[in-house]
Amino acid sequence: GTSRSHFGSSVVGGGAMALQRAIHRTAGLRRAAPLRRWNEWFPYEPTPVSPQLAPYAVEMKQNQKQMWCACGKSQTQPWCDGSHKGTDFKPVAYFPRWDGVHLMCGCKFSGKFRPRCDGTHYLVMMDKHTYAAGGTLFGLCFVLGFVSTFALHP
């Protein structure tokens, strides 16, 4: 016969496997939770939205002031439209030193050269696509090791 155990699973004919699964469930021995990004489990530091991972190529004139969006919520990227209201972000004033095309940060994580692109979007890409980045890094290291072994071997 079939009876209900106090663990919530049915035990058929004293099925040891069903009882063992029920014990594991109640003991907290479940599958590991899916990985979450660091800013989801550490929400105390405000993180901007990345509207695009590549930089914006913008034609600008010398000394023409622009307000760069730091929050990433603006509809007129890369420029601020006031969407940051109610957040801890403030737009960044930018005065180009020359006429021409400027690469403005699209990932919103640039550091030293903010608001210009400094290549940080590659790190943001690796953060968003961790497994692909890990596989690519492994492949590059493998090829480098393979080639260097034959190049340096006597």
One digit per residue, pLDDT tens: the chain, 154 residues? 444 444 444 444 455 556 555 555 555 544 545 555 655 655 567 788 888 989 999 999 999 999 999 999 999 999 999 999 988 899 999 999 999 999 999 999 888 888 999 998 888 888 888 899 999 999 999 999 999 998 887 7
Preceding omega of 96 cis (within 30 degrees of 0) = no
d(CA 69, CA 93) in angstroms, rounded, equals 9
Q: Comparing C-alpha atoms, which of 110, 68, 76, 116 is closest to residue 92?
A: 68
Domain ranges of the chain: 56-152
d(CA 85, CA 50) in angstroms, rounded, equals 17
| Global pTM value | 0.61
Q: Give residue 87's pLDDT.
A: 86
DSSP 92-108: EEE--SSSEEEEE-SSS
Q: Give residue 23's pLDDT.
A: 55
Q: What are phi and psi of 33, to 5 degrees?
A: -65, 150
d(CA 139, CA 45) in angstroms, rounded, equals 34
